[in-house]
Amino acid sequence: MTAAAYLDYNASAPIRPEARAALCRALELTGNASSVHGFGRAARREIEDAREAVAALVGARPARVVFTAGGTEANNTALAGTGRSRLVVSAGEHQSVLSAAPGAARVPLGADGVIDLDRLSSLLAEDGPSALVSVMLANNETGVIQPVSEVAARARARGALVHCDAVQAIGKVPVEMPALGVDLMSVSAHKLGGPQGVGALVVAEGIELAPLLRGGGQERRRRAGTENVAGIAGFGAAATAAARDMASGGPSAIAALRDELERRVRAIAPEAIIFGVGAPRLPNTSCIALPGLTAEIQVMALDLAGVAVGAGAACSSGKVAPSHVLRAMGASAAEAASAIRVSLGWASRPEDVERFIAAWSGLYKTWAGGRAGARTSSAA
């Protein structure tokens, strides 16, 4: 059994060896990628090679990829850059969408975490041509996959544009932007084993995009600022490695680990809730709630046992907050406050699941024993 088990890939995946090598190689380069001399051209080559790799991962043309400082910047650029006056978002979006669109109409989720398509259609019935719809491809907390192609079809019928936050999906499931029919797509490097601090917004043909950051002509005048050459090189290498893993059956192997983990959790605690289990999900994600045992206690106890997992949601201070996603799915406050997220990835092994089960089982037995003792004492 390994010394520690890292099961928080949806927060940030361990960097892949290929990405680390590419990042370190690019750090040795001198020169600005906008310079025309040899040093600048070498930096530019790193960027354009990475652009091709990221584009290939999502089925887009390289010229449509705009590198950013991460998924949050990509989301903010998409929401602000099209000039659409009305924003419509799902209730389960990442905070980088919800906070960037505080006045947006919110489309509710069903109990399975899937967007209410009929409600979306009704919201777009009158002013679709002035609207931008933002719906994530896969939820970061539950792993539930949204019917984005159907969202896009309904939006297009009303003249609306569609943005898709695909940050959690790329590298875990096949993603083809043309097949989804969306106009803008956000992606990020560190969720698939690239470096932190780099992402991209992929812009479909014919979509005009006003830059969020101004002051230079970089990224075809769609994002000003000297490019993060090393980070972008690492992103490209991670994208290539993720595509290779998917082609060789990596997601199926990860899904088998996730399913085994959930089977054993149910055997230990039949009252445990696994959110989104009836809907299509990412192969790597399990959101588990045990009402009465808070997520904060679980995360801390598991950490002490050498197991890293995520909570339903966390703010920048590191404090655990009840999940708005689970509440939007109809979960009670107690259920939402008790949810932990177990997420696997490219380096996960069976022994990681074993360590989680051993630690979580011990925590559960201690908690259940304490509850039984309290009931006995109260009855006496």
Residue 319 has φ and ψ, to the nearest 5°, of -80, 140
Torsion region of 330: left, alpha or beta (phi above 0 gives left; psi -120 to 50 gives alpha):
left
d(CA 5, CA 349): 9
The DSSP element (H or E) to which 218 belongs, if any, is helix 218-221
Q: Is 24 designated active site?
A: no
Cα–Cα distances in angstroms (integers) from residue 323 to residues 21, 94, 328, 334, in the given order = 37, 11, 9, 10
Strands (DSSP E) contained in 196-268 are 199-203
Paired tokens of 374:
């309290």
Query: How many CB atoms neighbour CB 258 within 10 A?
Result: 22
In DSSP terms, which residues pair with 106 in a beta bridge? 89
Tell me which residue of 290, 285, 251 sits closest to 271, measured CA to CA: 290
3-state secondary structure of 363: helix
- Residue 62 DSSP code: G
d(CA 229, CA 243): 21
d(CA 72, CA 197): 10
By residue count, the chain amounts to 380
d(CA 262, CA 35): 53
Q: At what angle do helices 148-157 and 117-124 cross, to 10 degrees?
A: 20
- The residue assigned the tokens 């588990």 is 288
Catalytic residue among 24, 164, 287, 315: 315
List active site positions. 315
